[in-house]
Amino acid sequence: MRKHLTFAALAVMAWGIPFTAFALTCPAPQPGFVRVKLIDPAPQVTTGKSLKQINASAAGHGLVGKGKRALGITESKLEASINVNFAGQNLQRAQTKTTCVSVTRVNARFGHKELVVSLPREYYQGTCKFNVVYRHEMAHVDVARRTVRKYASVLRRELEHEVQKNNPMNARTMKVGTAAYQKRLQAVVSSVGKRFEAEANALHAKIDAPGSAYAANGACQGW
């Protein structure tokens, strides 16, 4: 199992609403709305690569047979991205000014942009070798999809908590406030992505471990 972790840049839409008041306490905004879209496609199973090609891309991962040869591989590309809408109010009393910056909406995407299983073209469908490799790689697919669904929920909860923790924020300018929010929310995405990767890697390692229920050695004649 090999994964590519990609974080998209945080996109920001911000606007200022001039407002003059006698106090510089920021009024409580409406609660920010957080939505996390789960990207969970069915795996694309391909049989176009040879064993040699699979080994060239496996780099030590995947179902390993006699002589440390990779027999199949599952590859994924993870997307973790957010788009944030802000609102702002400029408050002023005499010479004192502040800007109230609040998050109105967070749209996030979390999941697999790609989930590809490569089975060697040397193993024909219906044969013992094909079935063993297919079963092994589908175990990796199950881990990938199950774990990404778990962490999509984790991401939503943690983004909601971060938005509610200090909303609105007093800032010198709208630009300063949105930048501070960007840093905090991107830190949440990065943290969740790292925890997802650590848990998924541990589960994949169990599948690939010698003697696991999905091991290939001795499973078919000729191995």
Instruction: Kindly report which listed range (88-97, 103-112, 185-194) carries the lowest average pLDDT score.
Output: 88-97
Task: With respect to residue 214, please indicate whether it lies within any of the assigned structural domains.
Answer: no
Task: With respect to residue 223, please indicate whether it lies within any of the assigned structural domains.
Answer: no
The neighbouring-strand residues paired with 45 are 117
What does the alpha-carbon distance between residue 63 and residue 217 come to, in Å, rounded to a whole number? 10
pLDDT digits (tens, 9 = 90+) for 24-66: 688 887 888 999 999 999 999 999 999 988 888 766 555 555 5
Task: With respect to residue 125, please indicate whether it lies within any of the assigned structural domains.
Answer: yes
Number of domains in the chain: 1
Domain that holds residue 140: 2-208
Angle CA 43–48–52, to nearest 5: 110
pLDDT digits (tens, 9 = 90+) for 117-171: 999 999 999 999 999 999 999 999 999 999 999 999 999 999 999 998 888 888 8
